[in-house]
Chain A
């Protein structure tokens, strides 16, 4: 209850506009006050779970600095978890905190991906595959999962991301990357890849792209215009 109140941004706004929420906050405040009273009373009377934990931990044989360090880390993490506001190094482990409804019912889901030509065959760069030691085709151990995640999603629209990628691939003799369209049809469970560079440019201008548009190099734009 306390965490719900603490984590509600614009608390006063919701209290004024949603009656049920107002009732919840008032009941929660009462329950929290009673709980605090009982909690403090139990602790002062040397009983209850909290007293047991504090007494047992403080009387343990672990080094004094570790006791203080653990207490500090516990308190710091409790604050950021309660407020849902991380402050490094304290963290609320809230990576999937923002739950959402699933609104996409389109049977075909498309992704724009970089590829290159190897003879007459196109070769797709699957950035996240490269972070898997057993599956990687282009990159080595220094290409970690967080990096793959950033390159695939957060920075896919940045020119710098594309330049970094091409610089890495140039070392392997791959000098020209294109953007194509990979699609999965969830109805037939089939996956296809369309290397048509103009199709990719057209799709990249849509508004419903997951994590926004990808960076398409100028030479692809020019080739498409020809």
Chain B
């Protein structure tokens, strides 16, 4: 076990996985897609002026086409396919369709919405599921005999998608940390805490902390050091996520740190990222725990 914890992500790609871990990730990702594609936000975006001016990699004619079909077709299609993904029905056939509809629908979303986008971080895990055996357990496909699961529930075939998702999680947090520090001459501004202080000061009356407790925790116009600590801590937590690539030793600590960071953000009114982190954090869990949970079997068989 201790050797396993020390191994880097490239070695872990080949190690035993868990059919149930991958299936649970599929279910949570499906629920996330259902939740976001069920939002009234898409209709709202059609009504309000387009002030985002965000760009994508698609040529103009595709964007125009997407703008036309996004709301009447892509949104309900994505919603239905998300439900089917959660249920694990005809997964092999629906995943390519869902990936395309999700890509195009969120191209429309991104081009119209200039704010933090938690849903932009789903597409790569969704693409990965296309190549994985994610419906081998906890699915209608399995119940109806539409797929034949591997005899070995701990096959490495179930491990590599989970490890690549862990790598994706590293990208999200490390890139967030790097973007706060670069260009290098911005470093001081961020570490000084001005951004955090301004956000908490101006957004207090729109924050969950206010909705819950009705008064500020302290005088936000003072105590600059507290905001500097928050800013430095957030960058440290985000950059610390890179350890996931090298070892699984700190996964639990990383999970708690990320959840703590998102909980503070939740109180300040930045929602959405916590649920994304929860979904992606499935990849941080040792596959062994899932097999212990679902199959009463000697855990030794799952060790390398």
Contact = CB atoms under 8 A, between A and B. Distances in A.
A133 B182 CA distance: 36
B143 interface: no
Contact of A88 (B38, B120, B160, B202): B120
Interface string A44-84: 00000000110011001111011001100110010001001
A205 interface: no
Interface string A81-124: 10010111111111111111110111101010100000000000
Nearest to A7: B183
B152 interface: no
Nearest to B227: A102
Contact of B201 (A7, A65, A109): A109
A12 interface: no
Nearest to B208: A132
Interface in B246-290: 269-272
A189 B175 contact: no
Given A88-B111, A160-B49, A101 B192 contact: yes
B294 interface: no
Contact of B38 (A95, A142, A182): A142
Interface string B120-140: 110110011001000000000
Contacts of A107: 219, 221
A162 B121 CA distance: 30
A191 B183 contact: no
B5 interface: no
Given A60-B160, A66-B164, A88-B57, A146 B113 contact: yes
Interface residues of A, number: 83
Contacts of B207: 128
Nearest to A95: B116
Contacts of B115: 95, 146, 149-150, 153-154
Contact of B219 (A96, A142, A155, A187): A187
Contact of A4 (B131, B182, B224): B182
Contact of A155 (B48, B176, B193, B195): B48
Contact of A111 (B164, B182, B184, B205): B205
Contact of B216 (A56, A132, A184): A184
B86 interface: no
A99 B215 contact: no
Contacts of A87: 55-57
A92 B160 CA distance: 24
A152 interface: yes
B39 interface: yes
Interface in B149-184: 156, 160, 164, 167, 171-173, 175-176, 178-180, 182-184
Contact of A56 (B10, B106, B215, B227): B10
Contacts of A15: none
B206 interface: yes
B219 A189 contact: yes
The 9 closest A-B pairs by CB, nearest first: A145-B271, A99-B189, A88-B56, A94-B179, A93-B175, A99-B190, A147-B41, A102-B197, A102-B194
Interface of B: 10-11, 13-14, 35-36, 38-41, 44, 47-49, 51, 54-57, 103, 106-107, 110-111, 113-121, 123-124, 127-128, 131, 156, 160, 164, 167, 171-173, 175-176, 178-180, 182-186, 189-190, 192-195, 197-198, 201-208, 210-212, 214-216, 218-221, 224, 227, 269-272
5 contacts: A88-B56, A97-B179, A107-B221, A147-B41, A186-B221
